[in-house]
Amino acid sequence: MIKTYIKKLSVFTVLLIAFSSCNIERLESAQETAEGGGTIDTFTAYTIDSSDPTGSNVYGRIVFWKTDLDQTLVQISLYNTIDDILHPAILVDGAAGVGTTTLMTLDEVDGSTGELSDNKFFLISDTAFYDSISVLDAHVSISLSPSDDTIVAMGDIGANADPVDSN
């Protein structure tokens, strides 16, 4: 009698164990994304001052952000820009008022928003650029418009000025 019980219970136990081995997986969230995303908190910001002889008083900041891929994102934020006007922005060799050679042409600043027009950031792919900013002998220059190269604002960067903010 006991053997019969053991036999019956064994069948049940084997079935239960075999059955319990099935796995049920949980659904995972979609994590697919390229590298380089996330919050950036490494930056160096410099002041841009008005230099417009007509007194438009355009001023603001230029911020260099270092991405996780060591790229540099350049952000320009200006007050008192002129609506519907695009202001060319360039990095110029030497200190403000001294150098004249263009180091790098950035995107144009949208006068309606005071920020770069095409994208919020201008991307510098050179992974060594950000770490060289502090010794860069340069300044940023903002022109009135593509057809009028009157400089309405400029600001020293790198070796020519202390950052207004950095992290």
Pick the closer one to other proteins by CB: 82 or 94.
82
Pick the closer one to other proteins by CB: 94 or 114.
114
Q: Does 162 bind other proteins (CB under 8 A)?
A: no
- Cα angle at 134 between 160 and 151, to 5 degrees? 45
Judge contact between 100 and 94, C-beta under 8 A. Answer: yes
Pick the closer one to other proteins by CB: 77 or 141.
77
Which of 90, 95, 136, 164 is in the footprint of other proteins by CB under 8 A? 164
- Interface with other proteins: number of residues (CB under 8 A): 48
Interface map 66-105 toward other proteins (x if CB under 8 A):
-xxx-x-x-x-x----------------------------
Interface map 10-49 toward other proteins (x if CB under 8 A):
-xx--xx--xx-x-x-xxxxxxxxxxxxxxxx-x-x-x--
Q: Does 140 bind other proteins (CB under 8 A)?
A: no
Alpha-carbon distance 163 to 77, whole Å?
A: 15
Residue 157 makes CB contacts below 8 A (sequence gap 6+) with: 46, 62, 64, 91, 133, 136, 138, 139, 140
How many angstroms separate the Cα of 64 from the Cα of each of 78, 121, 155? 15, 9, 13
Amino acid at 8: K
